[in-house]
Amino acid sequence: MSSVPASAFLALALILFCIGLYGALTKRNTVIVLISIELMLNAVNINLVTFSKYGMTPSITGQIFALFAICVAAAEASVGLAILIALYRTKKTVNIDEMNTMKN
């Protein structure tokens, strides 16, 4: 049916994860950081789906797990954005460098 090899999916997931990681670690804008985290989550989802099809023991569990992850990610994104808005209201900024109140 398909001629796309598993390694291509994994490479896509890897690239996506690296972009996400890079964004999450370097970007100063909190919104971008949140988006980058979503990217990393989706890279994981791709891995899960890939292995459910091409893994040593293919099974549907991987896809179900991916669906779960998407659900949880949606919930997490909503909570994260809510916190972000609350933070913005108190700090009047979305710059992540200034969100270091845990230290003091």
Nearer to another protein, 29 or 59 (CB): 29
- From the number of C-beta atoms within 10 Å of its C-beta (0-12, 13-18, 19+), residue 15 rates as exposed
Count, residues near another protein per rule CB under 8 A: 13
Longest dimension (CA), the chain: 58
Q: Does 90 bind another protein (CB under 8 A)?
A: no
Binding mask 25-54 for another protein (x = CB under 8 A): xx------x---------------------
Binding site for another protein (CB under 8 A): 21, 24-26, 33, 96-97, 99-104
